[in-house]
Amino acid sequence: MTMGSQERKGHPYQVMTHKYIIPLVELAGCVPLLVPTCCGDEDLAQYLALADGVYLTGAGSNIDPAHYGQSNLTPDKGQDRDRDHFDLPLIRAAIDRRLPLFGICRGMQEINVALGGTIHQKLYAQPGLLDHRENPEAPVEVQYGPAHPVTVQAGSWLAERLGRQTFDVNSLHGQGIDQLAAGLRVLGSAPDGVIEAFDAPELSPFLLAVQWHPEWLAAQNPVSIALFEAFGDACRTQRAQR
């Protein structure tokens, strides 16, 4: 797990919220190795040598659009360039090593950008698309409540693993996938066509990315349980092959 930058009272911190760590331990059955992103990527190979999988979480920051050839259309939104500079090469190196990858929200967008895809910087301004942002004034349990359905591809491994094709998810993102990178495959979509899940069967034995937040109250959500269990199983398979 890579951490993110945050400033508190003039001091830079590396942080990771409990909500992402707990389901990794309790549902996936994994031991988290939290990796700082503030020291560059020189030690990336050493971290990966210790890992059975890579877990990329959401965050309050956006990816610097320079990484996908655009100028910044949301200058009021925070960025985390240290995480960009660590996670993008991390993703490519993990794929080269055939390590399982699980990306959530920002993590999903990172995978797409790392492999050459692009992002809608203002998803809510795109004609015909829903506003996928949460209400910042609402209580946190409302922000993370069901917002819209996702439909996964019929007959896909994900539909089989979940035991269903349609389910409701939360929605807390102002940005989303525009052009999908080569090698990635759409697994699930929102009613407006926004990509909500993808995998990469040509690139990785296990790569799953979702745009919603399955970590929220994960133990109470059968879909979340299935996703984290699938990632944990993939990590254990990887470890057994060492």
Q: How confident is the model at residue 118 (pLDDT cuts 50, 70, 90)?
A: very high
Q: How confident is the model at residue 242 (pLDDT cuts 50, 70, 90)?
A: confident
Residue 28 near residue 229 (C-beta atoms within 8 A): yes
Q: How many residues can be counted in the chain? A: 242
105 part of the active site: yes
Instruction: Find the mean pLDDT for residues 151-174.
Output: 98
What is the pTM assigned to this prediction? 0.97
User: Which is catalytic among the residues 105, 110, 196, 235?
Assistant: 105
User: Which is catalytic among the residues 30, 173, 215, 235?
Assistant: 215
Per DSSP, the three-state class of 65 is helix
Domain limits, the chain = 4-240
Q: How many other CB atoms are found less than 10 A from the CB of residue 10?
A: 5
Q: What residues are paired with 43 via a beta bridge?
A: none
213 part of the active site: yes
134 part of the active site: no
User: Which is catalytic among the residues 132, 196, 213, 235?
Assistant: 213
Q: Residue 28 phi/psi, 5° resolution?
A: -80, -20
Per-residue pLDDT tens over the stretch 57-95: 999 999 999 999 999 999 999 899 999 999 999 999 999
Classify 4-240 by CATH class. alpha beta
Q: How confident is the model at residue 232 (pLDDT cuts 50, 70, 90)?
A: very high
CA-wise closest residue to 104 among 191, 223, 241, 6: 223
Per DSSP, the three-state class of 49 is helix
